[in-house]
């Protein structure tokens, strides 16, 4: 590469009463762009009184690139604003061709977007409207899902049975390792937290109560749901979102399949079937985790722990947990599938859909958990 | 023998307040290879969406035979849609299923054939589009052109009376595009199907199109209709002529022979 730079130069010369010549010399490229402000050029052209025509010449031009083109376009636009005729015949052919190309298709009226600044009050109003629209879309989706369920109960829903089994496999057995780990550790933590306080009164044996009730009524369901929201909810949204991007959902519609039945039903059924089982398993793992701590550190025997757990946890507690977990499963599937169906048509939209699915499911889970806990409290379950 | 299969009357298409095309009226006859053409962004694909029931018209009517497609009840509409097959721009195969499963999907759902019979039909359809032996491949494992042909096999799975194509040769090399054109023509001749194609590939338009409508993005309506060759010979509209002759010049300048088009037209 030629390392020697000739600095870019321009000068404006008067040729006749009405003609002005703008002469460009030197290298006009990105490495050499300091002296390329077009405004002084326009100033100087304006100062030549009586000018009607501007000739552009570049006999001793060195290297040039888009920097020169931008410079020339600004100069030409400036001259045309002043009603001056521009003569480009003195420019090299390549430059002239590029200039012709850039002026060939006029800017489409109304195509330019410009930055629209929304006042903050309007922004708040818009968010409220979006929230309202989101609520409406969610309610509509819930209604359609209910119809799809009714259709499937009547045996009219169209989806492939194999899809149901694949989804069960994907949501259930594949999630067992992570559910094992998390619920074991949550049981362990529950035991430790309780033990510190209970040991003050010499009541270590009640750690078993704490763990058993905590896991079965609350933590088993909640932890399973949060794992599944991150694991399965996000994957539902991404799968359905990608299908949307690829026109697969349009293709299904044209072939006469309702996407809600074909895509949403098997996923939702799979979660409804799998969640209680996973929750039961998480309860068991949590109680084992709590037991490990209690037996090894707090002077309680295995038999004592088991007996105490049996007395503390009732079938009703387990059922409350399972019921919660089933509700969470439905909510995760609804959030995941809804976000997938709403997905836009780009790669980033799929990512947004997955993120939004997880956030939505976790909000749903925690809110519905509070509501169910409140109801159970009032009913005395 | 001209029996109208699809009649469009005063169709106006819009996204909310944004008008795409207005007052479209045309008729597609049995056995036609009907071309919907026009520059990029004029609403060709949107018109297709209206014809195949994915998008509701803002105004106007679409008739299939004597039935008003958008006014009839959903069950009737489903029945009409059972008679059409669509090849989407990208093929739109379900990516989680093999080619065989993709093609078997509508067959298994809407007929009472046994699994071995379905398997045979699938193999036959794949063979028709030149993909014999690719039953157990996933769409991601084959090339774009093959995906398109597999999409065509799926569109034909239920022996539809009307086949829709959304830019069938976009993204294909000239030879594959020509083969696809031949295939489309062959299908029309042997199956007696009616074909509706959205395209702006001049070679395809002239080689196989028997009738057409030309959508203009500026006036937002159809500015020409008729057999493409006849349009080229008789149309007075400079926009249509420039499109059909690949001429970028403003009207009034002397047109020059275009080597690319000449090569295409002689295919």
Predicted confidence at residue B1, as pLDDT, reads 56
Q: With 90 as the cut, is the pLDDT of residue A375 above it?
A: yes
> Among B30, B143, B144, B9, which residue's Cα sits nearest to residue B83?
B30
Predicted confidence at residue B40, as pLDDT, reads 79
Cα distance between residue A119 and residue B217, in whole Å: 34
Q: Which residues of B touch A248 (CB under 8 A)?
A: 92-95
pLDDT tens for A263-276 read: 999 999 999 999 99
Reported as a pLDDT band with limits 50, 70 and 90, residue A302 is very high
Inter-chain touch A255–B105, beta carbons under 8 Å:
yes
Cα distance between residue A341 and residue A237, in whole Å: 8
B78 CB within 8 Å of a chain A CB: yes
What is the pLDDT averaged over residues A341-358?
92
Q: Which residues of B touch A246 (CB under 8 A)?
A: 90, 92, 95
Please report the DSSP string for B79-136 in residue order: HHHHTEEEE-TT----TTS-HHHHHHHHHHHHS---HHHHHHHHHHHHHHTT-TT-TT
Predicted confidence at residue B248, as pLDDT, reads 63
Q: E-assigned strands of chain B?
A: 4-15, 18-29, 33-38, 59-64, 67-68, 84-87, 162-166, 194-198, 211-216, 221-225
Predicted confidence at residue A377, as pLDDT, reads 92
pLDDT tens for A45-88 read: 888 877 888 888 888 888 888 888 888 888 888 888 888 888 88
Which of B54, B95, B109 minimises the CB distance to A250? B54
Q: Which residues of A touch B154 (CB under 8 A)?
A: 251, 255
Sheet of B162-166, strands arranged across: B84-87, B162-166, B194-198, B33-38, B211-216, B221-225
| Å between B78 CA and nearest CA of chain A | 6
Q: What is the DSSP letter of A230?
A: I
A147 CB within 8 Å of a chain B CB: no
Q: Which residues of chain B carry a pLDDT beneath 50? A: 254-267
A243 CB within 8 Å of a chain B CB: yes
Reported as a pLDDT band with limits 50, 70 and 90, residue A325 is very high
Q: Is the ipTM of this complex over 0.85?
A: no
Domains (range + CATH), chain A: 9-104 (3.30.750.24), 153-379 (no CATH)
Inter-chain touch A256–B106, beta carbons under 8 Å:
yes
Q: Which residues of B touch A252 (CB under 8 A)?
A: 94
pLDDT tens for B87-140 read: 988 888 998 899 999 999 988 888 888 999 999 999 999 988 888 889 899 999
| Number of cross-chain residue pairs from A and B with Cβ atoms under 8 Å apart | 48
């Amino acid at each position: 590469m030629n390392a020697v730079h000739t600095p870019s130069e321009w000068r404006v010369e008067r040729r006749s009463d009405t003609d002005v010549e703008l002469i460009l010399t030197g290298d006009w490229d990105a490495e050499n762009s300091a002296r390329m402000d077009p405004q002084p050029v326009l100033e100087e052209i304006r100062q030549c009184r009586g000018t009607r025509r501007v000739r552009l010449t570049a006999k001793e031009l060195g290297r040039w690139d888009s920097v020169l083109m931008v410079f020339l376009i600004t100069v030409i636009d400036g001259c045309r604003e002043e009603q001056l005729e521009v003569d480009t015949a003195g420019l090299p052919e390549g430059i002239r061709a590029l200039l012709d190309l850039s002026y060939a298709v006029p800017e489409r009226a109304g195509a330019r977007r410009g930055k629209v600044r929304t006042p903050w009050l309007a922004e708040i109003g818009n968010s409220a409207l979006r929230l309202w629209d989101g609520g409406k879309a969610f309610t509509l989706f819930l209604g359609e899902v209910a119809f799809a369920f009714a259709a499937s109960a009547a045996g009219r829903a169209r989806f492939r049975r194999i899809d149901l089994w694949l989804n069960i496999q994907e949501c259930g057995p594949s999630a067992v390792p992570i559910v094992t780990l998390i619920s074991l550790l949550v049981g362990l933590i529950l035991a430790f937290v309780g033990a510190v306080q209970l040991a003050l009164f010499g009541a270590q044996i009640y750690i078993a109560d704490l763990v058993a009730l905590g896991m079965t009524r609350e933590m088993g369901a909640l932890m399973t749901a949060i794992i599944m929201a991150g694991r399965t909810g996000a994957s539902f949204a991404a799968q359905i979102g990608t299908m949307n991007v690829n026109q697969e959902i349009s293709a299904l519609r044209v072939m006469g399949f309702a996407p809600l039945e074909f895509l949403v039903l098997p996923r939702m059924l799979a979660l409804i079937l799998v969640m209680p089982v996973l929750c039961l398993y998480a309860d068991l793992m949590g109680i084992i985790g709590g037991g490990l701590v209690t037996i090894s550190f707090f002077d309680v025997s295995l038999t004592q722990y088991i007996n105490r757990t049996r007395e503390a946890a009732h079938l009703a507690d387990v059922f409350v947990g399972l019921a919660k977990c089933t509700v969470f499963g439905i909510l995760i599937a609804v959030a995941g599938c809804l976000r997938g169906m709403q997905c836009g048509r780009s790669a980033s939209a799929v990512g947004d859909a997955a993120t939004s699915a997880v956030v939505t499911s976790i909000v749903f889970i925690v809110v519905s958990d509070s509501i169910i806990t409140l109801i159970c409290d009032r009913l005395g379950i | 023998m001209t029996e109208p299969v699809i009649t469009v009357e005063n169709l106006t298409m819009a996204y909310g307040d944004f008008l795409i095309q207005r007052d479209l009226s045309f008729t597609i006859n049995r056995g036609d290879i009907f071309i919907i053409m026009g520059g990029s962004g004029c609403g060709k694909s949107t018109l297709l969406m209206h014809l195949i029931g994915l998008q509701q018209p803002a105004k106007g009517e679409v008739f299939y035979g004597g039935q008003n497609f958008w006014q009839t009840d959903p069950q009737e509409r489903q029945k009409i849609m059972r008679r059409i097959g669509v090849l989407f721009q990208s093929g739109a195969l379900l990516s989680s299923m093999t080619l065989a499963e993709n093609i078997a999907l509508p067959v298994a759902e809407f007929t009472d054939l046994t699994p071995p019979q379905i398997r045979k039909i699938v193999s036959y359809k794949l063979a028709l589009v030149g993909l014999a032996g690719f039953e157990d491949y996933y769409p991601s494992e084959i090339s774009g052109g093959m995906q398109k042909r597999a999409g065509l096999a799926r569109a034909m799975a239920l022996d539809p009376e009307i086949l829709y194509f959304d830019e069938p040769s976009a993204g294909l090399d000239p030879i594959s595009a020509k083969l696809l054109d031949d295939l489309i023509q062959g299908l029309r001749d042997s199956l007696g199907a009616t074909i509706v194609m959205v395209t702006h590939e001049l070679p395809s338009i002239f080689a196989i199109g028997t009738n057409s409508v030309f959508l203009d993005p500026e006036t937002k309506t159809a500015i020409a209709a008729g057999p493409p060759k006849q349009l080229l010979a008789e149309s007075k509209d400079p926009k249509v002529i420039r499109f059909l002759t690949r001429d970028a010049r403003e009207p009034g300048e002397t047109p020059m022979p275009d080597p690319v088009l000449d090569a295409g037209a002689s295919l």
